[in-house]
Structure 1
Amino acid sequence: MRIWVARPEPGAARTAARLAALGHQPLVAPVLALVPTGAALPDGPWSGLILTSANAVRTLDARDRDRFRAHPVFAVGARTGALAREAGFADVRIAGGDARALAGLVAAALPRDAALIHATGTERKAEPGASLAQAGFRVRCCELYSMRPVQELARTVADALEAGAIDAVLHYSRRSATAAQDLTTALGRSGAFRALTHYCLSADVAAPLVTAGIAIHFVPERPDEDALLAGLSASR
Protein backbone atom coordinates (compact mmCIF):
# COMPACT_ATOMS: atom_id res chain seq x y z
CA MET A 1 0.00 0.00 0.00
CA ARG A 2 0.96 3.64 -0.49
CA ILE A 3 0.80 4.99 3.06
CA TRP A 4 1.02 8.56 4.33
CA VAL A 5 3.01 8.81 7.57
CA ALA A 6 1.70 12.00 9.20
CA ARG A 7 3.41 11.69 12.59
CA PRO A 8 6.22 14.10 13.56
CA GLU A 9 9.91 13.40 13.24
CA PRO A 10 11.98 11.59 14.34
CA GLY A 11 9.28 8.94 14.65
CA ALA A 12 8.08 9.41 11.07
CA ALA A 13 11.37 8.27 9.50
CA ARG A 14 11.51 5.26 11.80
CA THR A 15 7.95 4.28 10.90
CA ALA A 16 8.67 4.76 7.19
CA ALA A 17 11.61 2.36 7.40
CA ARG A 18 9.40 -0.25 9.04
CA LEU A 19 6.72 0.19 6.38
CA ALA A 20 9.26 -0.18 3.57
CA ALA A 21 10.56 -3.37 5.17
CA LEU A 22 7.00 -4.71 5.13
CA GLY A 23 6.70 -4.00 1.40
CA HIS A 24 4.67 -0.78 1.60
CA GLN A 25 5.43 2.57 -0.02
CA PRO A 26 5.65 5.21 2.74
CA LEU A 27 5.13 8.91 2.11
CA VAL A 28 6.56 10.90 5.02
CA ALA A 29 4.86 14.25 5.56
CA PRO A 30 4.49 15.24 9.23
CA VAL A 31 1.61 17.57 10.09
CA LEU A 32 3.01 18.58 13.50
CA ALA A 33 6.38 19.96 14.57
CA LEU A 34 7.91 19.86 18.06
CA VAL A 35 8.69 23.25 19.58
CA PRO A 36 10.51 23.30 22.97
CA THR A 37 9.10 25.74 25.52
CA GLY A 38 12.47 26.28 27.21
CA ALA A 39 11.05 25.27 30.60
CA ALA A 40 13.17 23.35 33.10
CA LEU A 41 11.99 20.94 35.77
CA PRO A 42 11.37 22.74 39.08
CA ASP A 43 13.48 22.17 42.15
CA GLY A 44 12.35 19.40 44.49
CA PRO A 45 12.56 17.30 46.47
CA TRP A 46 10.76 14.82 44.21
CA SER A 47 10.13 11.11 44.53
CA GLY A 48 10.04 10.35 40.83
CA LEU A 49 9.63 11.51 37.25
CA ILE A 50 6.67 10.66 34.98
CA LEU A 51 7.17 10.53 31.20
CA THR A 52 4.14 10.09 28.96
CA SER A 53 5.86 10.64 25.62
CA ALA A 54 9.17 10.17 23.88
CA ASN A 55 9.16 13.90 23.15
CA ALA A 56 9.33 14.64 26.87
CA VAL A 57 12.57 12.66 27.04
CA ARG A 58 14.02 14.47 24.04
CA THR A 59 13.33 17.92 25.48
CA LEU A 60 14.84 17.30 28.93
CA ASP A 61 18.03 19.32 29.20
CA ALA A 62 21.33 17.91 30.49
CA ARG A 63 20.89 19.43 33.95
CA ASP A 64 17.47 17.83 34.41
CA ARG A 65 18.76 14.46 33.22
CA ASP A 66 21.56 14.66 35.76
CA ARG A 67 19.23 15.71 38.58
CA PHE A 68 16.82 12.83 38.04
CA ARG A 69 19.33 10.18 36.96
CA ALA A 70 18.94 8.14 40.15
CA HIS A 71 15.20 8.80 40.66
CA PRO A 72 12.54 6.27 39.65
CA VAL A 73 11.35 7.18 36.15
CA PHE A 74 7.88 5.99 35.15
CA ALA A 75 7.45 5.70 31.37
CA VAL A 76 4.11 5.19 29.65
CA GLY A 77 5.41 2.68 27.09
CA ALA A 78 8.36 0.76 25.71
CA ARG A 79 9.62 3.41 23.28
CA THR A 80 9.55 6.17 25.91
CA GLY A 81 11.22 3.84 28.39
CA ALA A 82 13.97 2.91 25.94
CA LEU A 83 14.73 6.55 25.23
CA ALA A 84 14.82 7.29 28.96
CA ARG A 85 17.42 4.56 29.44
CA GLU A 86 19.42 5.91 26.49
CA ALA A 87 19.29 9.34 28.16
CA GLY A 88 21.05 7.86 31.18
CA PHE A 89 18.23 7.23 33.64
CA ALA A 90 19.13 4.24 35.79
CA ASP A 91 15.76 3.20 37.22
CA VAL A 92 13.16 3.16 34.42
CA ARG A 93 9.83 1.43 34.98
CA ILE A 94 7.57 0.89 31.99
CA ALA A 95 3.78 0.67 31.80
CA GLY A 96 1.91 -0.98 28.95
CA GLY A 97 1.29 2.11 26.84
CA ASP A 98 -1.77 3.28 28.77
CA ALA A 99 -1.86 6.30 31.10
CA ARG A 100 -4.11 4.59 33.65
CA ALA A 101 -1.73 1.64 33.76
CA LEU A 102 1.06 4.15 34.30
CA ALA A 103 -0.80 5.56 37.31
CA GLY A 104 -1.09 2.03 38.69
CA LEU A 105 2.63 1.48 38.20
CA VAL A 106 3.43 4.59 40.23
CA ALA A 107 0.90 3.69 42.94
CA ALA A 108 2.46 0.24 43.36
CA ALA A 109 5.97 1.65 43.74
CA LEU A 110 5.69 4.78 45.90
CA PRO A 111 3.92 5.88 49.11
CA ARG A 112 0.62 7.68 48.57
CA ASP A 113 1.87 11.12 49.62
CA ALA A 114 4.85 11.07 47.24
CA ALA A 115 5.56 14.15 45.10
CA LEU A 116 6.30 13.60 41.41
CA ILE A 117 7.07 15.67 38.33
CA HIS A 118 5.19 14.94 35.10
CA ALA A 119 7.30 16.12 32.16
CA THR A 120 4.79 16.76 29.40
CA GLY A 121 3.68 18.90 26.48
CA THR A 122 1.36 21.88 26.50
CA GLU A 123 -1.46 19.65 25.22
CA ARG A 124 -1.99 16.78 27.62
CA LYS A 125 -4.68 14.45 28.91
CA ALA A 126 -6.04 14.25 32.44
CA GLU A 127 -4.37 10.89 33.07
CA PRO A 128 -2.26 9.76 34.80
CA GLY A 129 -2.43 12.88 36.96
CA ALA A 130 -6.14 12.58 37.79
CA SER A 131 -5.90 9.02 39.09
CA LEU A 132 -2.73 9.76 41.03
CA ALA A 133 -4.19 12.88 42.65
CA GLN A 134 -7.29 10.94 43.64
CA ALA A 135 -5.05 8.33 45.27
CA GLY A 136 -3.24 10.98 47.31
CA PHE A 137 -0.13 11.63 45.22
CA ARG A 138 1.14 15.13 44.53
CA VAL A 139 1.85 15.55 40.82
CA ARG A 140 3.22 18.73 39.28
CA CYS A 141 3.18 19.10 35.50
CA CYS A 142 6.03 20.79 33.69
CA GLU A 143 5.35 21.70 30.05
CA LEU A 144 8.57 21.14 28.12
CA TYR A 145 7.30 21.31 24.54
CA SER A 146 4.35 21.96 22.29
CA MET A 147 3.28 20.24 19.09
CA ARG A 148 2.25 22.83 16.53
CA PRO A 149 0.60 22.20 13.16
CA VAL A 150 2.79 22.90 10.16
CA GLN A 151 1.87 25.96 8.12
CA GLU A 152 0.64 24.00 5.12
CA LEU A 153 0.35 20.46 3.85
CA ALA A 154 3.42 19.16 2.05
CA ARG A 155 3.03 19.50 -1.71
CA THR A 156 3.95 15.84 -2.19
CA VAL A 157 0.89 14.81 -0.17
CA ALA A 158 -1.41 17.39 -1.72
CA ASP A 159 -0.48 16.23 -5.22
CA ALA A 160 -0.73 12.55 -4.30
CA LEU A 161 -4.20 13.06 -2.81
CA GLU A 162 -5.34 14.87 -5.95
CA ALA A 163 -3.98 12.05 -8.13
CA GLY A 164 -5.44 9.28 -5.97
CA ALA A 165 -1.89 8.07 -5.28
CA ILE A 166 -2.31 7.42 -1.54
CA ASP A 167 -4.15 4.39 -0.18
CA ALA A 168 -3.95 4.88 3.58
CA VAL A 169 -2.79 7.13 6.41
CA LEU A 170 -1.42 6.32 9.87
CA HIS A 171 -2.58 8.45 12.82
CA TYR A 172 -0.55 8.41 16.04
CA SER A 173 -2.23 11.17 18.09
CA ARG A 174 -5.45 13.18 18.31
CA ARG A 175 -3.51 16.33 17.44
CA SER A 176 -1.99 14.87 14.29
CA ALA A 177 -5.31 13.38 13.17
CA THR A 178 -7.02 16.75 13.59
CA ALA A 179 -4.15 18.60 11.91
CA ALA A 180 -4.18 16.22 8.93
CA GLN A 181 -7.91 16.77 8.49
CA ASP A 182 -7.61 20.56 8.81
CA LEU A 183 -4.68 20.83 6.42
CA THR A 184 -6.30 18.69 3.72
CA THR A 185 -9.56 20.63 4.07
CA ALA A 186 -7.72 23.95 3.69
CA LEU A 187 -6.33 22.74 0.36
CA GLY A 188 -9.65 21.43 -0.90
CA ARG A 189 -8.61 17.79 -0.49
CA SER A 190 -11.09 16.82 2.23
CA GLY A 191 -12.92 14.34 -0.02
CA ALA A 192 -9.70 12.55 -0.90
CA PHE A 193 -8.67 12.53 2.76
CA ARG A 194 -11.97 10.98 3.82
CA ALA A 195 -11.61 8.30 1.17
CA LEU A 196 -8.29 7.07 2.57
CA THR A 197 -8.05 3.96 4.72
CA HIS A 198 -7.47 5.34 8.21
CA TYR A 199 -5.35 3.42 10.74
CA CYS A 200 -5.40 4.89 14.26
CA LEU A 201 -3.14 4.01 17.17
CA SER A 202 -6.06 4.03 19.63
CA ALA A 203 -9.74 4.84 19.95
CA ASP A 204 -8.74 8.14 21.54
CA VAL A 205 -6.65 9.01 18.48
CA ALA A 206 -9.57 8.13 16.22
CA ALA A 207 -12.10 10.23 18.17
CA PRO A 208 -11.83 13.53 16.23
CA LEU A 209 -12.08 11.70 12.92
CA VAL A 210 -15.11 9.74 14.08
CA THR A 211 -16.72 13.00 15.22
CA ALA A 212 -16.14 14.37 11.72
CA GLY A 213 -17.89 11.35 10.20
CA ILE A 214 -14.74 9.76 8.79
CA ALA A 215 -14.70 5.97 8.68
CA ILE A 216 -11.91 4.35 10.69
CA HIS A 217 -10.58 1.14 9.21
CA PHE A 218 -8.44 -0.20 12.05
CA VAL A 219 -7.68 0.46 15.73
CA PRO A 220 -5.40 -2.05 17.50
CA GLU A 221 -6.33 -3.66 20.80
CA ARG A 222 -3.25 -2.14 22.43
CA PRO A 223 -1.85 1.32 21.62
CA ASP A 224 1.58 0.52 20.23
CA GLU A 225 3.17 0.61 16.79
CA ASP A 226 3.70 -3.14 16.51
CA ALA A 227 -0.02 -3.73 16.92
CA LEU A 228 -0.88 -0.89 14.54
CA LEU A 229 1.39 -2.15 11.76
CA ALA A 230 0.13 -5.70 12.27
CA GLY A 231 -3.24 -4.34 11.21
CA LEU A 232 -1.85 -3.45 7.80
CA SER A 233 -1.18 -7.11 7.05
CA ALA A 234 -4.46 -8.23 8.54
CA SER A 235 -6.41 -5.88 6.26
CA ARG A 236 -4.81 -7.00 3.01
Structure 2
Amino acid sequence: MAQRVLVTRPEPGATRTARRLEALGFEPVILPLSETRPLPVARESVPSGATAIAVTSANALRHAPSGLVERLRGLPCHAVGAKTAESARKAGFYSVNEGPGDAAALADMIAIELGKATVAYLCGRVRMPDFERRLGVNGVRVVPIETYDTVALTPAPSFVRQQLGGQPIDAVLVYSARAAAAFGSLMEMHAEADFLMRNARCLCLSGRIASALVGGIRVEVARDPNEDALLALLGDPD
Protein backbone atom coordinates (compact mmCIF):
# COMPACT_ATOMS: atom_id res chain seq x y z
CA MET A 1 0.00 0.00 0.00
CA ALA A 2 1.39 3.41 -0.99
CA GLN A 3 2.52 5.86 1.67
CA ARG A 4 -0.05 8.55 2.41
CA VAL A 5 1.62 11.97 2.38
CA LEU A 6 -0.02 15.09 3.80
CA VAL A 7 0.71 18.26 1.82
CA THR A 8 0.39 21.37 3.99
CA ARG A 9 1.63 24.06 1.59
CA PRO A 10 -0.71 26.73 0.14
CA GLU A 11 -2.44 26.43 -3.19
CA PRO A 12 -1.64 26.40 -6.07
CA GLY A 13 1.60 24.78 -4.93
CA ALA A 14 -0.23 22.06 -2.99
CA THR A 15 -1.84 20.69 -6.14
CA ARG A 16 1.47 20.77 -8.04
CA THR A 17 3.15 18.83 -5.22
CA ALA A 18 0.28 16.33 -5.13
CA ARG A 19 0.80 15.61 -8.83
CA ARG A 20 4.51 15.04 -8.24
CA LEU A 21 3.73 12.65 -5.39
CA GLU A 22 1.27 10.68 -7.51
CA ALA A 23 3.84 10.36 -10.27
CA LEU A 24 6.31 8.97 -7.72
CA GLY A 25 3.81 6.40 -6.48
CA PHE A 26 2.66 8.07 -3.25
CA GLU A 27 -0.90 8.86 -2.19
CA PRO A 28 -1.13 12.64 -1.59
CA VAL A 29 -3.55 14.19 0.88
CA ILE A 30 -3.99 17.94 0.45
CA LEU A 31 -4.60 19.98 3.61
CA PRO A 32 -3.18 23.53 3.25
CA LEU A 33 -2.36 25.06 6.64
CA SER A 34 -1.52 28.51 5.27
CA GLU A 35 -2.42 30.67 2.31
CA THR A 36 -0.90 33.62 0.49
CA ARG A 37 -2.82 36.84 -0.07
CA PRO A 38 -1.86 39.78 -2.30
CA LEU A 39 -0.87 43.09 -0.74
CA PRO A 40 -1.42 46.54 -2.26
CA VAL A 41 1.77 47.95 -3.73
CA ALA A 42 2.21 51.72 -4.03
CA ARG A 43 3.89 53.12 -7.14
CA GLU A 44 6.42 54.99 -5.03
CA SER A 45 7.63 51.70 -3.52
CA VAL A 46 9.83 51.14 -6.59
CA PRO A 47 13.26 52.75 -6.01
CA SER A 48 14.33 55.04 -8.84
CA GLY A 49 17.97 53.98 -8.58
CA ALA A 50 17.43 50.22 -8.72
CA THR A 51 19.68 48.40 -11.17
CA ALA A 52 18.36 44.86 -10.60
CA ILE A 53 15.51 42.79 -9.16
CA ALA A 54 15.82 39.94 -6.67
CA VAL A 55 13.17 37.27 -6.05
CA THR A 56 13.37 34.39 -3.57
CA SER A 57 9.77 33.18 -3.88
CA ALA A 58 7.56 32.52 -6.88
CA ASN A 59 4.64 33.80 -4.79
CA ALA A 60 6.14 37.28 -4.91
CA LEU A 61 5.82 37.17 -8.70
CA ARG A 62 2.40 35.52 -8.70
CA HIS A 63 0.95 38.27 -6.51
CA ALA A 64 2.85 41.19 -8.06
CA PRO A 65 0.49 43.71 -9.74
CA SER A 66 0.86 43.86 -13.52
CA GLY A 67 1.76 47.54 -13.35
CA LEU A 68 4.65 46.78 -11.01
CA VAL A 69 6.01 44.07 -13.31
CA GLU A 70 5.77 46.43 -16.28
CA ARG A 71 7.86 49.01 -14.43
CA LEU A 72 10.52 46.49 -13.46
CA ARG A 73 10.68 43.99 -16.33
CA GLY A 74 13.49 45.83 -18.12
CA LEU A 75 15.88 45.28 -15.19
CA PRO A 76 17.84 42.04 -14.80
CA CYS A 77 15.98 39.70 -12.44
CA HIS A 78 17.98 37.47 -10.08
CA ALA A 79 15.82 34.48 -9.07
CA VAL A 80 16.72 32.09 -6.26
CA GLY A 81 16.35 28.91 -8.33
CA ALA A 82 15.00 27.23 -11.42
CA LYS A 83 11.28 27.33 -10.57
CA THR A 84 11.35 30.96 -9.47
CA ALA A 85 13.32 31.84 -12.60
CA GLU A 86 10.66 30.14 -14.72
CA SER A 87 7.96 32.16 -12.93
CA ALA A 88 9.91 35.36 -13.60
CA ARG A 89 10.09 34.61 -17.32
CA LYS A 90 6.38 33.83 -17.43
CA ALA A 91 5.67 37.10 -15.60
CA GLY A 92 7.41 38.97 -18.42
CA PHE A 93 10.93 39.75 -17.21
CA TYR A 94 13.26 40.01 -20.16
CA SER A 95 16.55 39.04 -18.48
CA VAL A 96 16.43 36.37 -15.76
CA ASN A 97 19.47 35.00 -13.94
CA GLU A 98 18.88 31.63 -12.29
CA GLY A 99 20.41 31.30 -8.84
CA PRO A 100 21.77 28.21 -7.04
CA GLY A 101 18.51 27.43 -5.20
CA ASP A 102 19.53 28.92 -1.86
CA ALA A 103 18.78 32.50 -0.73
CA ALA A 104 22.12 32.99 1.03
CA ALA A 105 24.06 31.79 -2.01
CA LEU A 106 21.96 34.07 -4.23
CA ALA A 107 22.82 37.04 -2.00
CA ASP A 108 26.53 36.28 -2.36
CA MET A 109 26.18 35.91 -6.12
CA ILE A 110 24.39 39.25 -6.43
CA ALA A 111 26.96 41.01 -4.24
CA ILE A 112 29.84 39.71 -6.37
CA GLU A 113 28.14 40.59 -9.65
CA LEU A 114 26.65 43.99 -8.78
CA GLY A 115 28.88 45.42 -6.05
CA LYS A 116 27.45 48.46 -4.26
CA ALA A 117 24.15 48.63 -6.13
CA THR A 118 20.47 49.15 -5.29
CA VAL A 119 18.30 46.06 -5.66
CA ALA A 120 14.49 45.96 -5.60
CA TYR A 121 13.48 42.83 -3.69
CA LEU A 122 10.07 41.35 -4.54
CA CYS A 123 9.07 39.46 -1.42
CA GLY A 124 6.43 38.56 1.14
CA ARG A 125 5.59 40.31 4.37
CA VAL A 126 6.60 37.16 6.25
CA ARG A 127 10.21 36.30 5.38
CA MET A 128 13.59 35.53 6.89
CA PRO A 129 15.89 38.57 7.22
CA ASP A 130 19.07 36.69 6.26
CA PHE A 131 18.90 37.46 2.53
CA GLU A 132 18.61 41.23 3.04
CA ARG A 133 21.14 41.24 5.87
CA ARG A 134 23.69 39.35 3.82
CA LEU A 135 23.38 41.77 0.91
CA GLY A 136 23.58 44.76 3.25
CA VAL A 137 26.81 43.51 4.80
CA ASN A 138 28.27 43.38 1.30
CA GLY A 139 27.28 46.98 0.54
CA VAL A 140 24.18 46.26 -1.53
CA ARG A 141 21.17 48.49 -0.79
CA VAL A 142 18.03 46.36 -0.69
CA VAL A 143 14.57 47.89 -1.08
CA PRO A 144 11.87 45.33 -0.18
CA ILE A 145 8.63 45.46 -2.17
CA GLU A 146 6.11 43.28 -0.34
CA THR A 147 3.58 41.83 -2.78
CA TYR A 148 1.93 39.19 -0.58
CA ASP A 149 1.29 38.04 2.97
CA THR A 150 1.18 34.50 4.37
CA VAL A 151 -1.51 33.71 6.91
CA ALA A 152 -2.14 30.53 8.91
CA LEU A 153 -5.34 28.58 8.27
CA THR A 154 -7.52 26.76 10.79
CA PRO A 155 -9.37 24.12 8.75
CA ALA A 156 -12.85 23.20 9.91
CA PRO A 157 -13.09 19.78 11.66
CA SER A 158 -15.40 18.52 8.93
CA PHE A 159 -12.89 19.45 6.21
CA VAL A 160 -10.01 17.82 8.12
CA ARG A 161 -12.06 14.66 8.56
CA GLN A 162 -12.98 14.63 4.87
CA GLN A 163 -9.39 15.07 3.68
CA LEU A 164 -7.88 12.48 6.02
CA GLY A 165 -10.52 9.93 5.10
CA GLY A 166 -10.11 7.99 8.33
CA GLN A 167 -6.77 6.53 7.22
CA PRO A 168 -3.36 7.03 8.90
CA ILE A 169 -0.87 9.51 7.43
CA ASP A 170 2.68 8.24 6.93
CA ALA A 171 4.46 11.54 6.26
CA VAL A 172 3.74 15.28 6.46
CA LEU A 173 5.45 17.83 4.20
CA VAL A 174 6.06 21.14 6.02
CA TYR A 175 7.23 24.13 3.98
CA SER A 176 7.15 27.03 6.44
CA ALA A 177 7.37 27.86 10.14
CA ARG A 178 3.85 29.24 9.97
CA ALA A 179 2.54 25.92 8.65
CA ALA A 180 4.56 24.09 11.30
CA ALA A 181 2.84 26.10 14.04
CA ALA A 182 -0.54 25.52 12.41
CA PHE A 183 0.18 21.79 12.27
CA GLY A 184 0.83 21.77 16.02
CA SER A 185 -2.47 23.56 16.61
CA LEU A 186 -4.25 21.08 14.35
CA MET A 187 -2.96 18.15 16.37
CA GLU A 188 -4.07 19.80 19.62
CA MET A 189 -7.54 20.76 18.38
CA HIS A 190 -8.52 17.65 16.43
CA ALA A 191 -8.33 14.33 18.28
CA GLU A 192 -8.89 12.37 15.06
CA ALA A 193 -6.05 14.20 13.30
CA ASP A 194 -3.77 13.54 16.27
CA PHE A 195 -4.68 9.85 16.19
CA LEU A 196 -4.15 9.49 12.42
CA MET A 197 -0.87 11.43 12.33
CA ARG A 198 0.82 10.67 15.66
CA ASN A 199 3.22 8.21 13.99
CA ALA A 200 3.84 10.25 10.85
CA ARG A 201 7.25 11.62 9.90
CA CYS A 202 7.25 15.41 9.60
CA LEU A 203 9.54 16.31 6.71
CA CYS A 204 10.70 19.93 6.87
CA LEU A 205 12.27 22.19 4.28
CA SER A 206 14.80 23.60 6.80
CA GLY A 207 16.01 23.37 10.38
CA ARG A 208 14.31 26.67 11.21
CA ILE A 209 10.97 25.19 10.15
CA ALA A 210 11.64 22.01 12.13
CA SER A 211 12.30 24.06 15.26
CA ALA A 212 8.74 25.41 15.07
CA LEU A 213 7.35 21.89 15.61
CA VAL A 214 6.76 20.89 19.22
CA GLY A 215 5.95 17.71 21.10
CA GLY A 216 6.94 14.15 20.36
CA ILE A 217 6.84 14.53 16.58
CA ARG A 218 9.30 12.63 14.38
CA VAL A 219 11.12 15.32 12.43
CA GLU A 220 13.47 15.07 9.45
CA VAL A 221 15.08 17.98 7.60
CA ALA A 222 15.86 18.19 3.88
CA ARG A 223 19.55 18.37 2.95
CA ASP A 224 18.83 21.44 0.81
CA PRO A 225 15.95 23.94 1.12
CA ASN A 226 14.07 22.83 -1.99
CA GLU A 227 11.25 20.44 -2.80
CA ASP A 228 13.42 17.90 -4.59
CA ALA A 229 15.45 17.38 -1.42
CA LEU A 230 12.28 17.32 0.67
CA LEU A 231 10.65 14.61 -1.42
CA ALA A 232 13.88 12.60 -1.38
CA LEU A 233 13.29 12.05 2.36
CA LEU A 234 10.19 10.01 1.56
CA GLY A 235 12.17 7.06 0.26
CA ASP A 236 10.25 4.20 -1.33
CA PRO A 237 6.51 4.84 -1.85
CA ASP A 238 5.48 1.39 -0.58
TM norm structure 1: 0.89
What secondary structure sits across from 1:147 in the alignment?
Answer: strand
Change (3 A) 1:5 1:154: farther
- The whole-number CA distance in structure 1 between the counterparts of 2:178 and 2:123 is 15
Alignment map for 1:76-95 (pairs within 5 Å): 76-95=80-99
Do structure 1's residue 98 and structure 2's residue 102 form an aligned pair?
Answer: yes
Do structure 1's residue 207 and structure 2's residue 214 form an aligned pair?
Answer: no
Which of 181, 184, 191 aligns to 1:181? It is 184
| Corresponding position of 1:226 | 228
- The whole-number CA distance in structure 1 between the counterparts of 2:201 and 2:86 is 31
Change (3 A) 1:24 1:162: closer
Report the CA distance between 1:230 and its aligned residue: 2.1
- The whole-number CA distance in structure 1 between the counterparts of 2:95 and 2:19 is 30
The alignment of Structure 1 onto Structure 2 pairs a total of residues equal to 233
For residues 135-156 of structure 1, what are the alpha-carbon distances to aligned partners after superposition, in whole Å with 9 as ceiling and x for unaligned? 1111111221111112325635
Q: Which moved more, 1:157-166 or 1:190-199?
A: 157-166
Report the CA distance between 1:14 and its aligned residue: 0.5
Change (3 A) 1:76 1:213: farther
For residues 56-101 of structure 1, what are the alpha-carbon distances to aligned partners after superposition, in whole Å with 9 as ceiling and x for unaligned? 0101111111111121211122211110011111221222222210
Q: Which moved more, 1:223-232 or 1:192-201?
A: 192-201
What secondary structure sits across from 1:38 in the alignment?
Answer: coil
| Corresponding position of 1:71 | 75
- The whole-number CA distance in structure 2 between the counterparts of 1:154 and 1:56 is 31
Report the CA distance between 1:192 and its aligned residue: 4.5
| Corresponding position of 1:19 | 21
| Corresponding position of 2:30 | 28
- The whole-number CA distance in structure 1 between the counterparts of 2:163 and 2:215 is 22
Which of 121, 124, 147 aligns to 1:121? It is 124
Give the AA of the match of 2:60.
Answer: A
Report the CA distance between 1:160 and its aligned residue: 6.4
**Aligned-residue RMSD, C-alpha:** 2.1
| Corresponding position of 1:3 | 5
Report the CA distance between 1:104 and its aligned residue: 0.7
Report the CA distance between 1:165 and its aligned residue: 2.5
Q: Which moved more, 1:26-35 or 1:194-203?
A: 194-203
Which of 169, 174, 177 aligns to 1:171? It is 174
For residues 3-40 of structure 1, what are the alpha-carbon distances to aligned partners after superposition, in whole Å with 9 as ceiling and x for unaligned? 11110011110100011111111111111111111124
- The whole-number CA distance in structure 2 between the counterparts of 1:15 and 1:162 is 19
8 Å Cα contact 1:6/1:28 also seen in 2: yes
TM norm structure 2: 0.89
Change (3 A) 1:70 1:99: same
Change (3 A) 1:42 1:25: same
Report the CA distance between 1:193 and its aligned residue: 3.8
| Corresponding position of 1:139 | 142
Q: Identity percentage over the alignment?
A: 37
- The whole-number CA distance in structure 2 between the counterparts of 1:93 and 1:145 is 22
8 Å Cα contact 1:158/1:184 also seen in 2: no
What secondary structure sits across from 1:125 in the alignment?
Answer: coil
- The whole-number CA distance in structure 2 between the counterparts of 1:154 and 1:94 is 42
Change (3 A) 1:160 1:143: closer
- The whole-number CA distance in structure 2 between the counterparts of 1:54 and 1:123 is 14
| Corresponding position of 1:38 | 40
